[in-house]
Amino acid sequence: MRIAYLDCFSGISGDMFLGALIDAGVPAKVFEDAVEALNVGVKLQIARIDRSGISATKVDVIVDGQKDSPRETRTGMSEPHGHFQSHQQAHSHDHKHGVPHFSQVLGEVGGTPSREHQHGRGLTEIREIIGQATLTDSVKCTAIGIFEKLGAAEAKIHNVPIDKIHFHEVGAVDALVDIVCAAVGVEALGVDEFACSSLNVGAGTVECAHGTFPVPAPATVELLKGVAVCSSGIQAELVTPTGAAIVATIVRRFSAFPQMKIEKTGYGAGTRDFPGHANVLRITVGEVASMKNAGEGARATQDETVVVLEANLDDLSPQVFGYVMDRLLEVGALDVFATPVQMKKNRPGSMLTVLARSEDAEKLSHIIFAETTTLGVRRREETRRILTRRWQIVHTQWGEVRIKIASMNGSVSNYAPEYEDCRKIAAAQNVPLKTVMMEAMEAYSRSLKR
């Protein structure tokens, strides 16, 4: 299995992620074509720079001929931390704390704020911009998913519906470009999975529309729920909401550096240059090293140790049970299932079983205790053997669908369309789900005959 590992020892932001992807081999033209497809009148500036002796790629968004500049905080110059604003805030002209209005962040033509930008953009408008661009369906889904996570975080902080949230700094053109290019780069890198270290969030304070807050900013904290974080004490905001949303959307697991055969690495530069600290994001791409080989080097199966968590439940609402299963999968469970059991006093119940990586077991156990009525969780380690897996994109008449392909000894043993891709197409196109899945399977079968 081919993976990409993100070393976030100096945090992560959108531009750092793009720089790391380019440095790791994603062609710059892929991003330039994506920016052109958005048709928002901006360009990318890509350069090689030095960060404490490390050569890295820096990506800047040029709006109206100028870079989007970092803004001043109490900790000194920092990358834009970005946030949303509620509908009422969007119509307020109170600029205390030195926070620029959305039109200022976007840039102004001839010194006059554009009326189009004066009150920000809602999620519906952002979806339309992305939806109308000539991008693949999977890229659009990923980009919109990142924006929806950002919107959901601010909606919770403000206690308002997500459709009442208007994009402030995060909705600016530079962040729109960062997010869409991030989605394009994820697809172009062609890995099966993203993994990530703990995130160094920095320290100090930031000024935002909510007032002065300690680092990390409120939206960042919300987005990083369930994620391992740390602080090296550097007085700056190292993880931006955009960076946090990218991680929360694409990363499947958080762990120490995995056993792998390294193919290539890339370094993306942050805006600031800290003395004695390389302000870069490192991405490492390679094959996991635990593959068991059969024959003359043909990859067969992979053995791995997993943690099994179990709890018997006989007094939990079925609606809550379903929610808990979804929640466990969202935060990294490998599998979650329920088995009917007959409990003491002949009460019918269900045994909740969760398969997890060892590094995820503790947080998943916490969720089980917090969300269910159980008083105890059984835990044991088991070894499982899995087939080598990879993804392939096929084209249907409604859009692109990923096919998960399992192989043994170099031969395909099983394949299936990705459910979420098919579900989204079925809902958007008003087509039966089984029809979409069937056509995706047929498209993959045709590709084998070419």
pLDDT digits (tens, 9 = 90+) for 113-145: 333 344 456 778 888 889 899 998 889 988 988
pLDDT bin (cut points 50, 70, 90) of residue 389 is confident
Instruction: Please give the angle made by the CA atoms of 147, 29 and 389, to the nearest 5 degrees.
Output: 65
317 & 414 share domain: no
Q: Are 218 and 72 in contact (CB under 8 A)?
A: no
**Does the pLDDT of residue 95 top 50, yes or no?**
no
Give the tens place of pLDDT for each residue, 16-74: 999 999 999 999 999 999 999 998 888 999 999 999 999 999 999 888 776 764 433 32
- 150 plus 246 within the same structural domain: yes
Residues 224, 324: one domain?
A: no
Does some domain include residue 15? yes
Pair (16, 141) in one structural domain = yes
Nearest-angstrom CA–CA distance, 347 and 337:
20
DSSP track, 109-157: BTTB--GGGTT-EEHHHHHHHHHHSS--HHHHHHHHHHHHHHHHHHHHH
Residue 444 lies inside a defined structural domain of this protein:
yes
Residue 293 lies in a domain: no
The answer on pLDDT for 214 being more than 60 is yes
Length of the chain: 450
Question: 119 and 101, same structural domain?
Answer: yes
In this prediction, residue 321 carries a pLDDT of 93
Phi, psi (rounded to 5 degrees) for 425: -65, -45
> Across all residues in the chain, what is the average pLDDT?
81
Q: In this predicted structure, what is the pLDDT of residue 79?
A: 36
What band does 283 get if pLDDT is binned at 50, 70 and 90?
very high
Residue 132 lies in a domain: yes
CA proximity to 232, closest of 279, 282, 283: 279
How sure is the predictor about 86, in pLDDT bands with cuts at 50, 70 and 90? very low
Average pLDDT over residues 368-397: 89
Look at residue 434 and tell me whether its pLDDT is greater than 50.
yes
Q: Name, of 110-119, 196-205, 299-308, the range with top average pLDDT.
A: 196-205
Region 228-256: mean pLDDT is 90
Q: How confident is the model at residue 387 (pLDDT cuts 50, 70, 90)?
A: confident
* % of the chain exceeding 70 in pLDDT: 82
User: Same domain for 273 and 321?
Assistant: no
Q: How far, in Å, CA of 145 to CA of 179, rounded?
A: 10
Instruction: Return the structure tokens found at 14.
Output: 């959108």
Same domain? For 351 and 396 the reply is no
Mean pLDDT in residue range 234-262: 90
Is the entire prediction scored with pTM above 0.95?
no
Please report whether residue 295 resides in a domain: no
Query: Domain with 353 in it: what CATH number?
Result: 3.30.70.1380
**Boundaries of domain holding 321:** 301-376
**Domain shared by 351 and 320, yes or no:** yes
Can you tell me the distance from the alpha carbon of 136 to that of 159, in angstroms, rounded to the nearest whole number?
Answer: 34
Pick the residue with more confidence: 155 or 324?
A: 324
How does pLDDT run across 149-199, given as a tens digit for each residue?
Answer: 888 888 888 888 777 766 654 446 778 899 999 999 999 998 888 999 999
Provide the domain count of the chain: 3
- Residue 294 in any domain: the answer is no
pLDDT at 63: 80
Domain stops at, among 344, 376, 408: 376
417 preceded by cis ω (within 30°)? no
Local confidence band at 253 (pLDDT 50, 70, 90 cut-offs): confident
Predicted local distance difference test score (pLDDT) of residue 185:
95
Of the residues 288, 313, 346, the one at which a domain ends = 288
Measured in whole angstroms, the distance separating CA 53 from the mean position of its chain's CA atoms is: 29
3-state secondary structure of 262: strand
Using CA of residue 138, residue 140, residue 143, residue 149, what is the dihedral sign?
negative
71 and 92 both lie in a single domain: yes
State the amino acid at position 231 in one-letter form: S
Burial of 78 (0-12, 13-18, 19+ CB in 10 A): buried
The whole-angstrom separation of Cα 417 and Cα 176 is 29
Give the pLDDT confidence score for residue 199 in this predicted structure. 95
Judge if 372 and 390 occupy the same domain: no
| Residue in the block written with tokens 């919107």 | 151
Strand, coil or helix: what is 274? Answer: strand
Q: Which of 254, 288, 322 is the last residue of a domain?
A: 288
Give the span between the Cα atoms of 35 and 180, in whole angstroms. Answer: 8
The pLDDT assigned to 300 comes to: 54
CA-CA distance, 285 to 67, in Å (whole number)? 30
Residues 167 and 268 occupy one common structural domain:
yes
Look up residue 344 and give its two tokens.
Answer: 């003491």
CATH number (domain holding residue 440): 3.10.20.300
Considering the domain architecture, whether residues 175 and 316 belong to the same structural domain is answered as no
Closest CA relative to residue 145, chosen from 62, 53, 251, 59: 251
Report whether 316 contacts 299 (CB < 8 A). Answer: no
Residues of the chain with pLDDT > 90, as a percent, come to 46
What is the separation, in whole angstroms, between the first and last Cα of the chain?
Answer: 25
* Pure H helices in 360-405: 361-371
Q: pLDDT (tens digit, 9 = 90+) per residue, 52-63? A: 999 999 999 888
Residue 163: C-alpha distances to residues 85, 126, 375, 418 (Å):
11, 12, 39, 28
Residue 203 to residue 230: CA distance in whole angstroms: 10
Domain assignment present for residue 397? The answer is yes
